[in-house]
Amino acid sequence: MNEFNFRAPVKEDAKFIYELAQPFKPYIGTSPLYTYLLVSTHFSQSSVVVEDKETKQIIGFISGYIVPNRDEKTLFLWEIGVREGFHGNGLYVRMVHHLLNRLNPIWVDATASPSNDSSVKRLVVISKDINSPLSTSVLFEKKSFGKTAHEDEVLYRIGPITKQIKSKEYSLFIETNDRI
């Protein structure tokens, strides 16, 4: 079984995060490398990378930030990706747990297009896993994206989170027994 290291990204990780995100277009990976340089420097404390301990290869990441001008601390999960071949290790959930323990937010926000079934399922799993309510609302209507073909972008809001979460070192299964 693989062992993993969860840590804040550093500038040198940006190109690997960028490359990891490319196969997941249009859901993530549409930003230029410069964006990942900013994530790895300006937003490193609210982001996480996962390394395979043996190979030191980055196999997963979450880019996130603390939403400004909110009365209660809100972590926004911007992009989340796990390299093909490493799904089924519960890395998505474990990365979120890592950030929750590091940042201790009251709320976790993320957006997903309605057709992005895997992201929606994972957000439901996170909500259940940390025993916090999940609500949804349209954050950006498709018309906000101009003439580009884009669905509504739905905001998934988890919280309030009432307790600190301890990382779980096991694979997590969603109700249909599909690994995430």
C-alpha pair distances (Å), 131 with each of 134, 160, 180:
9, 10, 18
Domain ranges of the chain: 4-158
The pLDDT confidence band at residue 25, using thresholds 50, 70 and 90, is: low
Percent of the chain surpassing pLDDT 70: 86
pLDDT at 170: 31
C-alpha pair distances (Å), 145 with each of 39, 140, 151, 158:
23, 8, 9, 25
pLDDT at 118: 84
The predicted-structure confidence for 30-74, as pLDDT tens digits, reads as follows: 778 999 999 999 999 999 999 999 999 999 999 999 999 998 999
Q: Which CATH class is domain 4-158?
A: alpha beta
The predicted-structure confidence for 70-87, as pLDDT tens digits, reads as follows: 989 999 999 888 888 888
Mean pLDDT of the chain: 85
Distance between CA 112 and CA 153 in Å, rounded? 6
Q: Give this prediction's pTM.
A: 0.84
